[in-house]
Amino acid sequence: MRKRTATLGWGLALWAAAPAFAAVDPFERIRQATVGVGPDDCAGAVVGDPQHALTAAHCVAEGPSPLSLTLHDGRKVRAAVASIDRGRDIAIIELETPASVEPLEVANRLPQVGEELYFSGRLDRSVEQLVKVERLGRCPSLPSVPRALFTTVDGAPGDSGAPLVDHRLRVVGLVHGGAACHIATPTHEVGAMLARLEREGPGVGGAGAPPK
C-alpha cells in the first residue's frame, strides 16, 4: 500500500483559532464515528443518531442480504440497508443495535470551492488529512450528481464511503472514487430521509428506496 502522510501543517492555526472546537480533536471524533462496512472493507460513518450510518452505495451488494459493520472499538454490529441510491452512490444503513458513539451530523449544504475538510479514511489505516474542495462538477460514474466534489483527498482503495467532514463536524460528502479516490458524492440531500427514519424508529427503512 502506498504510504500516505498527513496534510495538516497549513490548517492547524485555523483549527486552533476556533474556540468552539478548542476542546475537540476533530479526527478523534471522526474516527469514533467511522465504521467498517463488510465484506468489501469499505468505510462509513454513524450519523444523525446512533442507529444509522452512511456509506457509499457501491459498497453494498445487490439484494436484501444483511450487513456487518465494524465499530471503531472492533465490535461487530449487524445492520441492513434502509435506503439506497446507486445513481448518487449513497446508502443509509440501519444498525440492529445502537452504536455506543457520538454520531456526526449531516450538513444541509454543499461545501464551497476552496473549503477545507477533514478526512480520516478507513478505520484500519486511519490518517489525518486536511483537504480542499477543488471544484464541483460532473463525474461519469455519478450520473445523478450534477455537482460532485473534486477534492485533494489522498485516498486509497477501501476508503470508499469514508466521510468528508467540515469544521463544524458535519458530514458533507462520502468518498466515491476516481483517481486516488479524489471524488466524493455530496450528502446534503439525505438529511430529510435520515430524519424520517429516526422518527419512525427501527425496522422501517425500505431497502432499495432512494434517499430523498
Q: What does the pLDDT read at residue 22?
A: 44
Among 10-19, 55-64, 72-81, 121-130, the minimum mean pLDDT is found in 10-19
Q: Say how far apart CA 153 and CA 138 lie, in whole Å.
A: 17
Q: In the predicted model, what is the mean pLDDT of residues 142-169?
A: 93
CATH of residue 111's domain is 2.40.10.10
Residues 153, 94, single domain; the answer is no
Q: Which of 86, 101, 116 is the last residue of a domain?
A: 101
Q: In the predicted model, what is the mean pLDDT of residues 152-175?
A: 94
CATH of residue 81's domain is 2.40.10.120
Which contiguous run of DSSP H or E holds residue 172? strand 170-177
Residues 118, 17, single domain; the answer is yes
Enumerate the H helices of 25-180 as residue ranges. Answer: 26-33
Least Cα distance to 111 among 54, 141, 149, 142 occurs for 149
| Count of the separate structural domains present in the chain | 2
pLDDT tens track for 17-44: 444 444 679 999 999 999 999 766 899 9
Predicted model pTM = 0.82
Residues 14, 118, single domain; the answer is yes
Q: What does the pLDDT read at residue 91?
A: 95
At 112, list the grid cell.
Answer: 464551497
Which residues, at least 6 apart from 20, have a Cβ–Cβ distance to it below 8 Å? none
Which residues constitute the domain of residue 159? 9-26+104-186
Q: In the predicted model, what is the mean pLDDT of residues 86-90?
A: 94
Q: What does the pLDDT read at residue 198?
A: 79
Indicate if the pLDDT at residue 134 is higher than 80. yes
Q: In the predicted model, what is the mean pLDDT of residues 7-11?
A: 45
Least Cα distance to 175 among 18, 55, 29 occurs for 55
Residues 133, 171, single domain; the answer is yes
Bond before 163 cis per omega within 30 degrees = no
Which residues, at least 6 apart from 183, have a Cβ–Cβ distance to it below 8 Å? 139, 141, 142, 148, 149, 150, 151, 175, 176, 177
Indicate if the pLDDT at residue 187 is higher than 80. yes
Residues 50, 19, single domain; the answer is no
Q: What does the pLDDT read at residue 120?
A: 94
Residues 108, 181, single domain; the answer is yes
Confidence of residue 13 (pLDDT cuts 50, 70, 90): very low
Indicate if the pLDDT at residue 158 is higher than 50. yes
Q: In the predicted model, what is the mean pLDDT of residues 69-92?
A: 93
